C-alpha cells in the first residue's frame, strides 16, 4: 500500500521527502526467502515454521536446507514471491533494492540467482534491483563445491553477501573458521572488485564480537577499491 494511504501527517511528509530524494532504497534483503513463513514451504519435511521460531540461530540456519529442498525454490513459486514483493516496494516509492540470493551446493545451485537475474532485467525500468551471491551454509574444505558455486555466483552477481558466523568452528567444527572465511571472501571481493555485505552478531549477546573480527580482517587483508569513494564493506545487523 502507498504511504499516503495512511493520512497521518508523518507518513505524508515521509512520502514527500522520499520523492524529493529520488525514492526509497531498501538496502538489505533476502528476497528469495520472502513470504516463506507459511506451513506450505516446510510441509515436505513435516515442519511448521512458526513452531520453530524459538530455536537457536544456528538451528534456524539448518532449516534453510529444508527450505531449499521444497517448493520455495521452484522457479514459478520463486518468481511469484519476488515479483509480489517488488510490486509492494515499487508502490511505496522504492527505487533501488539490494538483495542476497542463496547460491549453494545443494539443489539450489545457481538457479535462484539466475531467476532473479531474469527478474532484474525484466523490471529494470521500474526498479534498480541489485543481487548478491550469498551462502548461509558456510564452507568446508572437504566439500569444495560449496566455495566453487558461491564464487561462480559472485562473478555473475552485482555484489557479494557473506555470513562468516556460518563457518565459526565453535558452532561448526568441520567448517573453515570465521577468520579464514573472512579472508577468502575479502580476497574474492578484491579480485572481482565488488562490494560485500557481512552479516554479524545476530544473536544480540554481549559476548559476540563478529563485527570487530570483520573489522580486523578488513584492516589486515584489505578491501575492494571504490571508484567514487562509496563504502565497499558493509556490516549488517552488528547489533540485532
What band does 4 get if pLDDT is binned at 50, 70 and 90? Answer: low
Phi, psi for residue 9 in degrees, rounded to 5? -55, -30
What band does 240 get if pLDDT is binned at 50, 70 and 90? Answer: low
Residue range 111-142, pLDDT digits in tens: 999 999 999 999 999 999 999 999 999 999 99
Q: Is 123 left (phi over 0), alpha (psi -120 to 50) or beta?
A: alpha
Asked whether 134 and 163 are in contact (CB, 8 A), the reply is: yes
Looking at domain 26-237, which CATH architecture does it have?
Alpha-Beta Barrel (3.20)
Neighbours of 91 (CB within 10 A): 12
State the Cα angle at 54 between 178 and 52, rounded to 5°: 95
Domain boundaries, the chain: 26-237
Q: Choose the weakest-confidence range: 60-74, 126-140, 148-162.
A: 60-74
What band does 77 get if pLDDT is binned at 50, 70 and 90? Answer: very high
Residue 91 has pLDDT above 80, yes or no: yes
Residue-level pLDDT at 7: 77
Neighbours of 1 (CB within 10 A): 8
What band does 8 get if pLDDT is binned at 50, 70 and 90? Answer: confident
Residue-level pLDDT at 215: 97
* Percent with pLDDT over 90 in the chain: 80
Q: If you average pLDDT over residues 49-57, what whole number do you get?
A: 79
Choice between 45 and 80, residue whose per-residue pLDDT is larger: 80
Q: Choose the weakest-confidence range: 4-18, 66-80, 117-131.
A: 4-18
Residue 1 has pLDDT above 70, yes or no: no
Q: If you average pLDDT over residues 188-198, what whole number do you get?
A: 98
Residue 162 has pLDDT above 80, yes or no: yes
Helix (H, G, I), strand (E, B) or coil at 97: strand
* Percent with pLDDT over 70 in the chain: 97
Residue-level pLDDT at 61: 78
Choice between 202 and 221, residue whose per-residue pLDDT is larger: 221
Sheet hosting strand 196-200, strand order edge to edge: 24-29, 94-102, 128-134, 159-162, 196-200, 233-237
Residue-level pLDDT at 195: 98
Among 194, 237, 200, which residue's Cα sits nearest to residue 215? 200
What band does 223 get if pLDDT is binned at 50, 70 and 90? Answer: very high
Asked whether 185 and 218 are in contact (CB, 8 A), the reply is: no
Residue-level pLDDT at 140: 98
Kindly state the cell numbers that stand for 91.
Answer: 508502490
Amino acid at each position: 500500500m502507498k504511504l499516503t494511504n495512511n493520512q497521518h501527517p508523518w507518513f505524508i511528509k515521509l512520502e514527500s521527502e522520499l520523492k524529493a530524494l529520488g525514492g526509497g532504497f531498501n538496502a538489505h534483503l533476502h528476497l528469495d526467502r520472502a513470504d516463506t513463513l507459511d506451513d506450505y514451504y516446510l510441509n515436505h519435511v513435516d515442519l511448521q515454521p512458526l513452531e520453530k521460531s524459538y530455536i537457536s540461530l544456528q538451528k534456524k540456519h539448518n532449516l534453510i536446507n529444508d527450505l531449499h529442498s521444497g517448493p520455495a525454490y521452484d522457479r514459478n513459486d520463486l518468481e511469484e514471491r519476488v515479483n509480489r514483493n517488488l510490486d509492494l516496494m515499487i508502490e511505496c516509492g522504492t527505487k533501488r533494492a539490494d538483495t542476497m540470493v542463496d547460491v549453494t551446493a545443494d539443489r539450489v545451485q545457481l538457479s535462484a540467482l539466475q531467476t532473479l537475474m531474469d527478474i532484474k532485467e525484466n523490471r529494470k525500468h521500474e526498479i534498480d534491483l541489485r543481487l548478491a551471491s550469498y551462502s548461509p551454509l558456510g564452507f568446508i574444505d572437504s566439500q569444495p563445491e560449496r566455495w566453487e558455486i558461491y564464487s561462480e555466483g559472485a562473478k555473475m552477481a552485482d555484489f557479494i553477501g557473506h555470513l562468516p558466523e556460518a563457518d565459526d568452528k565453535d558452532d561448526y567444527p568441520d567448517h573453515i573458521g570465521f577468520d579464514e572465511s573472512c579472508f577468502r571472501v575479502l580476497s574474492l571481493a578484491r579480485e572481482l572488485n565488488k562490494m560485500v555485505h557481512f552479516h554479524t552478531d545476530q544473536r544480540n549477546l554481549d559476548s559476540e564480537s563478529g563485527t570487530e573480527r570483520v573489522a580486523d580482517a578488513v584492516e589486515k587483508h584489505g578491501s575492494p577499491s571504490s571508484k567514487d569513494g562509496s563504502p565497499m564493506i558493509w556490516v549488517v545487523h552488528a547489533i540485532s
